[in-house]
Amino acid sequence: MRSYPLYIIILLCLLILIIDVVTFYWLLSITQLIPFSFLKILIYIFFWLFTIGLISSIIFLKVNLNAFNPHRKQLITSWLYGLVISSLIPKFIFIIFSTIINITNTFLSDAVSLIVVALLGLFAGFLPFFIIVYSIFRALYRFKTHKVTIRFKKLENDLEGLKIVHISDLHLGSFNFRYHILDRAILTINELKPDFIFFTGDLVNNYAWELKGWSTVFKQLKATTGKFAVLGNHDYGDYSFWKSEKAKLTNQEILHYFFKKIDFKLLLNESELVKLKNTNIAIVGVENWGLPPFKQYGDLQKALHNVPKGVFKILLSHDPSHWSKEVLEETDIALTLSGHTHGMQAGISIKSKKWSPIKYKYKHWAGLYKVKQQYLYVNRGLGWLGYPGRLGMRPEITCITLKKK
């Protein structure tokens, strides 16, 4: 919440108050159906205690943000954000439905209209509430494996059937050192028996201390040929205040060393040629490259400097915006792997159809994209950030198999 100015926080609190006032107006009508006065009073007291408590907590956290240690601050902010979402959205839908139903039921008697408003309005409010609760307490760690086959016309025979596991956006600080949560994901990845494991950035939320204890977990990942990684925008510490530039640099060095500990090759605007039988494949990795306000540390030309033409190239680049700006039709990179968007952790995904509000910010935000013979795959992320839930966008493990067309 520190990244938001005070006036934004005040506007948020004002929005919460306005929505709760209107919600309470409809609640007064509905509680007419309750015959017990003391029960009505209890409902009213609970309603306003929750509102006052939520607004007070938001303001208190904003004013005293720097008094918390980074671990507690990160945890409290995320769950308070989840509480705001789970409160506002159901109430907003309840208001809309109650208003519409009341208008359309003008031809009914007052008693019947009141019952209709009460039943349908409450249903409209409670349904999204339970869905949001499900997204927080159940779907958040329901890892899903997306199996994708990509066919290339000029794929070398030695690369036929090459299996890649792609993971992204772990945001380990959000797991609060609950190492066991990723046990099933690690097991799933190893059972896929990949040739390569690629990680496309955002290992942490902000700080290297989030990595404490996680090396034991990630050392278990197995790939027959190699494991490679790049950094995401959250891995640079740019969203935190540092006592000195040296402190920030030390944070970076610890994070870089972590990849060595777990046997991942961290590619910092560089490439590595890997020989598979008699064929070379180039694994190209750039530092984070994003559209403003994200900083552009990535240097694709530097990463490609020593890569021979004609070699099959796979690019690891955290932000999918990079593909259309510098990769597509500007290079001969066959496959780009990205993350960053999380699929906004909310949306609709039914078979090949998908939708999320994030599509209005990112043209390429989840799944496979193709232009001629160049492909981009955007992973929905294995962890979470901000909103502590996933609704229709389950945490993803991607298994990509290369085939000859």
Is residue 1 included in any domain, yes or no? Answer: no
Indicate if 157 and 287 belong to the same structural domain. Answer: yes
pLDDT-derived band at 253, boundaries 50, 70, 90: very high
Cβ-proximal residues to 43 (8 Å cutoff; 6+ apart), any chain: 27, 31, 34
- How buried is residue 310: exposed, middle or buried, by Cβ count under 10 Å (0-12/13-18/19+)? exposed
Range of the structural domain that residue 398 is part of: 143-404
Residues in the chain: 405
Indicate if 257 and 230 belong to the same structural domain. Answer: yes
- Asked if residue 41 has pLDDT above 60, the reply is yes
What pLDDT is stored for residue 1 in this prediction? 40
Q: Give, rounded to a whole angstrom, the gap between the first and last alpha carbons of the chain.
A: 49
Indicate if 307 and 173 belong to the same structural domain. Answer: yes
- Asked if residue 142 has pLDDT above 80, the reply is yes
- Could you give the number of structural domains in the chain? 2
pLDDT in tens, 195-228: 999 999 999 999 999 999 999 999 999 999 999 9
pLDDT-derived band at 116, boundaries 50, 70, 90: low
Give the domain-ending residue among 75, 106, 137. 137
pLDDT in tens, 66-83: 767 777 777 788 878 888
Give the domain-ending residue among 137, 155, 180. 137
Share of the chain above pLDDT 70, in %: 93
Q: List, in sequence order, every residue forming a beta bridge with 404; answer none if it has no partner.
A: 152
DSSP 347: -
Cβ-proximal residues to 108 (8 Å cutoff; 6+ apart), any chain: 116
Is residue 251 included in any domain, yes or no? Answer: yes
Indicate if 194 and 336 belong to the same structural domain. Answer: yes
What pLDDT is stored for residue 85 in this prediction? 87
Longest dimension (CA), the chain: 83
Indicate if 79 and 159 belong to the same structural domain. Answer: no
Cβ-proximal residues to 101 (8 Å cutoff; 6+ apart), any chain: 116, 117, 120, 121
Indicate if 205 and 337 belong to the same structural domain. Answer: yes
- E-assigned strands of 168-225? 196-200
Give the domain-ending residue among 93, 112, 137. 137
Indicate if 120 and 255 belong to the same structural domain. Answer: no
Indicate if 153 and 124 belong to the same structural domain. Answer: no
Indicate if 124 and 148 belong to the same structural domain. Answer: no
Q: Which CATH number does the domain housing residue 244 bear?
A: 3.60.21.10
- Average pLDDT value for the chain: 90
Residue 328: CB atoms within 10 A of its CB come to 17
- Asked if residue 103 has pLDDT above 70, the reply is yes
What pLDDT is stored for residue 117 in this prediction? 64
Indicate if 128 and 69 belong to the same structural domain. Answer: yes
- Asked if residue 240 has pLDDT above 60, the reply is yes
If one compares 3 and 264, the residue with the highest pLDDT of the two is 264
Element (H, E) at 283: strand 279-285
Indicate if 152 and 273 belong to the same structural domain. Answer: yes
